[in-house]
Amino acid sequence: MTMEKIALEVAGGIATITFRNPSKLNAWDGQMLEELKAAVGDVAGREDARVLVFTGEGRAFSVGADMNWFTPDPLTHRFRIQARSAHDFFDAIEDLEKPVLAAINGICVGGGLELALSCDIRVAAAGAQFGFPEVNAGIIPGSGGCSRLARLVGVGAAKELILTGEMISATEAKAIGLVNTVIQADQLMVKTREYAEKIMRRGPLAVGMAKQVINTALSVDAATGRALERLAQSILLKTKDAEEGFLAFREKRRPKFSGR
């Protein structure tokens, strides 16, 4: 697919997807969403891409759906079809068996914040701003915003952010656990890549499996979560990576993982 509204770059094991619609604060429409889906699908199957990073061009990470595209349809079943397209994309990010980082360079609201919530780690520039302004338009963050935010920061903080529709700073976002760390803007991509490189030094199969177990365990009872851990561990123990990891530990050296 020819990509006009995003850019995909893969270098040193890190795939970077950049939103390229700065004149509209990286709002997406149907075309951009299809480009994003294609890019994530490409990254999922690439052996040379171990970590995925999302970021934005210009002064925004993303403001989510372009309101000229996302016009409420009077036929509710047609709206649900359109919404499902976005939901499936966010779910694909969350389910990707590779770590996904959001390098949040600026304004991150609405669907842009919902995308960031689908990522595993969120690194924010010091001047970034966050919010769910949907209630100001008489709607709600309905593509995972309510559910993922509450799961991440707790019900009270989620309700405050969503019900007031107000913006918060990167520092405030860090305080409630919405972002993992706050970085000076000129160091954002450098520090995000350092995060990615740190993860890439670990066993890729273990990292992917851990992500899957954590995500699944959040929606099942505790006993089922522990059963998933045992099953995942039993699979990992049979891998070449685990063999190399134990050997490297005994030999007091850094392991050389192969992803096998």
For the annotated catalytic residues, the residue numbers are 114, 134
Residues sharing a CB contact under 8 Å with residue 58, sequence separation 6 or more, in sequence order: 22, 23, 25, 26, 106
Of how many residues is the chain composed? 260
Residues sharing a CB contact under 8 Å with residue 208, sequence separation 6 or more, in sequence order: 97, 98
Here the tokens at position 221 are: 């009872």
Residue by residue, DSSP assigns 151-198 as HHH-HHHHHHHHHH---EEHHHHHHTTSSSEEE-GGGHHHHHHHHHHH
Which of 190-194's residues contact partners 24+ apart within 8 Å by CB, and which partners?
A: 191/123, 192/53, 192/55, 192/101, 192/103, 192/123, 193/14, 193/53
